């Protein structure tokens, strides 16, 4: 799996979601595809850890927990994913207390 392409794809999806062009289920599908790959792959097959992975995995986990109808209707999904996107794009620094790890 090419993580750089996955990061670029995640940024594109999050931008689309925030603009109102991408539905929650598409974010969930992307996130679970990545999680499933990393959960089922042999450690020797996984790509070398990248410096930006903390922000990437934080974003993935936020999607799995917040990209649903309940959180979306109260605005939480969009607010939190906007923050995650700014960390992923390195526009703002993610707080050190936030966790973003591979599965």
Please write the tens of the pLDDT for every residue from 37-90. 988 877 677 888 889 999 999 999 999 999 999 999 999 999 999 999 999 999
Task: Say whether pLDDT at 96 is over 90.
Answer: yes
- What range defines the domain where residue 29 resides? 3-88
Does residue 103 lie within any of the structural domains? no
CA dist., res. 93 & res. 77, Å (int):
19
Number of domain units in the chain: 1
Is 94 part of a structural domain of the chain?
Answer: no
3-state secondary structure of 89: coil
In a domain, 22, yes or no: yes
Q: How many CB atoms lie within 10 A of CB 102?
A: 15
d(CA 103, CA 90): 22
- The Cα 29–Cα 59 span in angstroms is 14
């Amino acid at each position: 799996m090419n993580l750089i392409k996955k990061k670029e794809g995640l940024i594109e999806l999050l931008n689309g979601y925030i603009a109102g062009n991408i539905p929650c289920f598409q974010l969930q599908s992307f996130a679970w595809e990545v999680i499933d790959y990393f959960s089922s792959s042999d450690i020797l097959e996984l790509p070398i850890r990248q410096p930006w992975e903390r922000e990437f995995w934080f974003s993935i986990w936020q999607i799995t927990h917040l990209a649903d109808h309940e959180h979306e209707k109260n605005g939480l999904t969009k607010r939190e994913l906007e923050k995650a996107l700014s960390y992923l794009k390195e526009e703002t620094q993610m707080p050190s207390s936030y966790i973003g790890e591979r599965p």
